[in-house]
Chains A and B, each alone.
Chain A
């Protein structure tokens, strides 16, 4: 009798774990994709009476505007990915394998760049180098007494600069991380075979990082195809249209009427291409071994650059200057100016004005709530998927992980649209329309690929036998998840929480496209101010956003500290309780 109860309990826990999670994944990730593809074959907007037709495809394939947008996206993605890859590999080499002093600055700067929202960059570079009031142009004008602007950030050059700088950070973090995890015996074997550090880097390290390099290149390509904020802010004068901004127009964000079917066609094509590239990569890497990670970490040999020291140091510093110090400085400076181009009367008035507006205070609250809640939920989901997928067969595992990667293949704009169509068909979700919770759900979906990657790599480092040992010790699956997996992965969990919270607070597409009138985040208000030409106010607001980010960072560090403290106290307590007992009695271990 006992055994039957126990048996039923096990299958119940399994169902309790996998059914709601599976259902949620279906609703959040798969259903929107289905609706998206279906929309491409409908003659009317979703949920209006219409018929199945191929008309949209005919129009789309003969539409020169669409082809131009696709070509612009492809060009942007390829060029920025390649440039970022080269720069990041160079930086990774300097920071991991040379003895330059500046190498210690690289990792923290890249982390800062990575977590800074894209809109921050686009706005900062506008302040720095727009042809009318750009700080660099004004400085050059003043210093050299010439009239024509030297730099113009508006247009292709600006977009490339912003994209590449952002992408270098992501690529660098990926490569440097993989670098540090490399088995150092591979390097040592190469040294003993007569190769120096540079040779070892090129011949041994880079090839063994091939999986990491191709993954990050692929991610970069996909992200490049979806680029949105920089185009919106910097692409105006040249009339640059890419896939994401074309979608915005097709969906009624621009001048013309909404054309849902066209938007669906474009998105479906995009998703299909990305899926093909992704499968290709899987096949390519499937046969090779991945980066070997061992527990042995020894200091790699560092290359002395000799005569090149100064040159390389200056180049690195210059890069860090352009990628972080100057944009931040420009924003700070602009936020203190009364008007762009006016170099007197600096004050904190803009901050006072901004912080006195009720809608800004509301936006800070909304941004914080969205960041914290969405970050926490999406990381929990990511970990649940990662842990559950380890207990599944290989095929269901692949399917589950693939489902959470679907949003990666859909540009943020597409995801948002797909989500709102898909969920409007479900009554419970339809009621959410226009509320902060629909925005939150959409943000969860867009942040999921990132969260599940963090969770997968964090849990992959936890040997399965650690949870098996807990099961053998009498802990159920939920207790094992909390006390072993989450406890061990807590630092990754908290770091991931912080990063997703930042991504969420800087996200412009989702709140902009979901058109929830009551829900204004700091990013949306900043964009509105910027497009109205109110640069100084936008700058002040972005500095506030930076402050909010710092607040989130502080909160994440505090959480981590509390967590460690609790563990430490727990340890102290068990120790004292044990010490209080008189040690040693006769053996009573016989079963």
Chain B
């Protein structure tokens, strides 16, 4: 088990923008830590700096008490000297070796293969559920099995730190969920520190003790899955964890942990959580999850809720246990949920829903105030129609 400390880490690639800029991060021993972000945000570069596959341009990497990279003094420990296990996105199994030879390799590089080592290879193959496949070649295995071999190879030398570079992204959804559970189980059994890179927020939520969301080479937010998902601190994180409605507003007054906010468009006032303790007068983003905005038929019985606003359905998509849709109200276009209990039986088509007059009910505590700063740029690809109004 080792703690990982990144100190003012910087890395640029020739001719390109900075891949990592001034990264400070402390990962505790035994923690399952996930680096989350869109492609090109620097998460993989960070992982490769920890591994020693990239040499940082600036700053320090420490594993436990040991400094393994320090740009200031020119110190750099080669990857093979760091005693880290790593699982690659494309498995990186050597096709000319059998499963056993692949898994034996990290032990072989560190000395003779004795009885003790052979036993350990069998154990680790059992642990990943592949004990019957030791004599196969990688090409004879399925993708899921190949990734299990890669995991076994990374684990066999009992590293205190395991790195995962999007290990599940080449697999189908069901396999991904099964392997995800296995990864977490094996981590809990063996107790190593894990650093895991992914762009899939569902994967991050399922695996992590803590998550760091990265954007353009910087950390946007570090926190537990709950903090990241329920209380994103920047607009980027809110966007990335899938909050559909992010509207410009302003704080009018404070009320304990809550704040009275008014939306710039339509002048709507509502109560929002204010974890960042922003003072009155601050320009904010008001974040609202569609799941917490219920669109009910206009004549539906009035629920006792803080907000109820009238509008018209402009868009509806069937999503299994509910509809998702857009409602036009007060000049805003809001992403909402249309519950099956209110709209579902008998199942209505899209055409029957569009044009319906609705009342949108907001669950209390659902809105969140996020500081509106220039530094936190939204993802261009994820822009929503509302932003044209903002």
* CB–CB A3/B118 < 8 A: no
Complex CA distance for A477 and B79, rounded to whole angstroms: 10
Q: Can you list 23 A-B contacts (CB < 8 A)?
A: A2-B66, A3-B67, A7-B78, A468-B88, A469-B86, A469-B150, A470-B94, A471-B53, A472-B53, A473-B153, A475-B109, A476-B80, A574-B101, A574-B104, A575-B98, A581-B115, A581-B118, A585-B122, A587-B123, A587-B189, A589-B120, A589-B190, A590-B158
Knowing A474-B106, A587-B123, A591-B158 are in contact, say whether A574-B76 is a contact too (CB < 8 A).
no
* CB–CB B122/A587 < 8 A: no
Most buried by A among B79, B118, B134, B158: B79
Say yes or no for A9: interface residue by CB 8 A criterion. Answer: yes
* CB–CB B78/A466 < 8 A: no
Most buried by A among B123, B153, B159: B123
- A contact residues around B354 at 8 Å (CB): none
* CB–CB A575/B153 < 8 A: no
* CB–CB B122/A584 < 8 A: yes
Knowing A473-B105, A581-B115 are in contact, say whether A571-B98 is a contact too (CB < 8 A).
yes
Q: Mark A1-41, 1 if CB is under 8 A from B, else 0.
A: 01110110111010000000000000000000000000000
* CB–CB A3/B154 < 8 A: no
* CB–CB B109/A4 < 8 A: no
Within A486-523, which residues are at the interface with B (CB < 8 Å)? 487-488
Say yes or no for B300: interface residue by CB 8 A criterion. Answer: no
* CB–CB A394/B14 < 8 A: yes
- B contact residues around A588 at 8 Å (CB): 120, 123
- A contact residues around B163 at 8 Å (CB): 472
Most buried by B among A7, A394, A395: A7
Complex CA distance for A578 and B107, rounded to whole angstroms: 14
Say yes or no for B85: interface residue by CB 8 A criterion. Answer: yes
* CB–CB A3/B122 < 8 A: no
Say yes or no for B353: interface residue by CB 8 A criterion. Answer: no
A-B contacts at CB below 8 angstroms, number: 147
* CB–CB B191/A591 < 8 A: yes
Knowing A469-B86, A471-B80, A474-B83 are in contact, say whether A578-B121 is a contact too (CB < 8 A).
yes
Q: Mark B31-43, 1 if CB is under 8 A from A, else 0.
A: 0000000000000
**5 A-B pairs with least C-beta separation:** A474-B109, A473-B106, A465-B92, A10-B78, A469-B92
Knowing A465-B90, A488-B95 are in contact, say whether A475-B80 is a contact too (CB < 8 A).
yes
Say yes or no for A425: interface residue by CB 8 A criterion. Answer: no
- A contact residues around B84 at 8 Å (CB): 472
Say yes or no for B218: interface residue by CB 8 A criterion. Answer: no
Say yes or no for A484: interface residue by CB 8 A criterion. Answer: yes
* CB–CB A465/B106 < 8 A: no
* CB–CB B118/A465 < 8 A: no
Say yes or no for A286: interface residue by CB 8 A criterion. Answer: no
- B contact residues around A6 at 8 Å (CB): 77-78, 81
Knowing A463-B92, A587-B123 are in contact, say whether A473-B157 is a contact too (CB < 8 A).
yes
- A contacts with B: majority SS: helix
Complex CA distance for A474 and B96, rounded to whole angstroms: 18
* CB–CB A590/B191 < 8 A: yes
Please give the distance in Å from B50's CB to the nearest CB on chain A.
11
Within A52-71, which residues are at the interface with B (CB < 8 Å)? none
Most buried by A among B96, B120, B155: B96
Please give the distance in Å from B320's CB to the nearest CB on chain A.
32
User: CB < 8 Å: which of B67, B85, B88, B190 contacts A465?
Assistant: B88
Please give the distance in Å from A472's CB to the nearest CB on chain B.
4
Which residues of chain A have a CB within 8 Å of any CB of chain B? 2-4, 6-7, 9-11, 13, 393-395, 463, 465-466, 468-477, 479, 484, 487-488, 567, 570-571, 574-575, 577-578, 581, 583-585, 587-591
Please give the distance in Å from B237's CB to the nearest CB on chain A.
30
Knowing A10-B77, A473-B109, A473-B157 are in contact, say whether A487-B96 is a contact too (CB < 8 A).
yes
Knowing A471-B79, A473-B80, A476-B80 are in contact, say whether A571-B92 is a contact too (CB < 8 A).
no
Within B109-133, which residues are at the interface with A (CB < 8 Å)? 109-110, 113, 115, 118-124, 126-127, 131
Most buried by B among A469, A577, A590: A469
* CB–CB A577/B88 < 8 A: no
- A contact residues around B94 at 8 Å (CB): 466, 469-470, 484, 487-488
* CB–CB B80/A585 < 8 A: no
- A contact residues around B190 at 8 Å (CB): 589-591
User: CB < 8 Å: which of A10, A476, A578, A591 contacts B118?
Assistant: A578
Say yes or no for B135: interface residue by CB 8 A criterion. Answer: yes
Knowing A3-B77, A574-B101, A578-B121 are in contact, say whether A584-B92 is a contact too (CB < 8 A).
no
* CB–CB B76/A10 < 8 A: yes
Write the chain B residue with the least CB distance to A572: B135
Complex CA distance for A393 and B1, rounded to whole angstroms: 34
* Given A474-B83, A590-B190, 6 new contacts (CB under 8 A): A574-B98, A577-B118, A578-B100, A583-B131, A585-B119, A591-B158
Say yes or no for B15: interface residue by CB 8 A criterion. Answer: yes
Say yes or no for B68: interface residue by CB 8 A criterion. Answer: yes
* CB–CB B109/A394 < 8 A: no
* CB–CB B153/A469 < 8 A: yes
- A contact residues around B248 at 8 Å (CB): none
Complex CA distance for A6 and B79, rounded to whole angstroms: 10
User: CB < 8 Å: which of B66, B78, B131 contacts A9?
Assistant: B78
Write the chain A residue with the least CB distance to B48: A468
Within B344-369, which residues are at the interface with A (CB < 8 Å)? none
Complex CA distance for A395 and B13, rounded to whole angstroms: 12
- A contact residues around B121 at 8 Å (CB): 578
Write the chain B residue with the least CB distance to A582: B119
* CB–CB B134/A578 < 8 A: yes
Complex CA distance for A477 and B14, rounded to whole angstroms: 23
* CB–CB B123/A589 < 8 A: yes
Complex CA distance for A590 and B157, rounded to whole angstroms: 10
- A contact residues around B342 at 8 Å (CB): none
User: CB < 8 Å: which of B77, B88, B126 contacts A469?
Assistant: B88
Please give the distance in Å from A485's CB to the nearest CB on chain B.
11
Say yes or no for B325: interface residue by CB 8 A criterion. Answer: no
Complex CA distance for A20 and B95, rounded to whole angstroms: 31
Say yes or no for B75: interface residue by CB 8 A criterion. Answer: yes
Say yes or no for B192: interface residue by CB 8 A criterion. Answer: yes
Q: Mark B51-89, 1 if CB is under 8 A from A, else 0.
A: 111000000000000111000001111111101111011
- B contact residues around A393 at 8 Å (CB): 14
* CB–CB B96/A567 < 8 A: yes
* CB–CB B101/A584 < 8 A: no
- A contact residues around B123 at 8 Å (CB): 584-585, 587-589
Say yes or no for B225: interface residue by CB 8 A criterion. Answer: no
Say yes or no for B160: interface residue by CB 8 A criterion. Answer: yes
* CB–CB A591/B1 < 8 A: yes
* CB–CB B122/A578 < 8 A: yes
Within B168-214, which residues are at the interface with A (CB < 8 Å)? 189-192
Write the chain A residue with the least CB distance to B104: A574
- B contact residues around A465 at 8 Å (CB): 88-90, 92
- A contact residues around B158 at 8 Å (CB): 589-591
- A contact residues around B78 at 8 Å (CB): 6-7, 9-10, 13, 471, 476-477
Complex CA distance for A506 and B116, rounded to whole angstroms: 55
Please give the distance in Å from B112's CB to the nearest CB on chain A.
11
User: CB < 8 Å: which of B79, B95, B113, B192 contacts A472?
Assistant: B79
Knowing A9-B78, A472-B79, A473-B157 are in contact, say whether A577-B113 is a contact too (CB < 8 A).
yes
- A contact residues around B110 at 8 Å (CB): 474
Please give the distance in Å from B51's CB to the nearest CB on chain A.
6
* CB–CB A7/B119 < 8 A: no
Complex CA distance for A469 and B190, rounded to whole angstroms: 21
- A contact residues around B189 at 8 Å (CB): 587
* CB–CB A470/B127 < 8 A: no
- A contact residues around B105 at 8 Å (CB): 470, 473, 475
Most buried by B among A13, A476, A574, A591: A591
Write the chain B residue with the least CB distance to A571: B98
- A contact residues around B67 at 8 Å (CB): 3
Please give the distance in Å from A489's CB to the nearest CB on chain B.
10
Please give the distance in Å from B192's CB to the nearest CB on chain A.
6
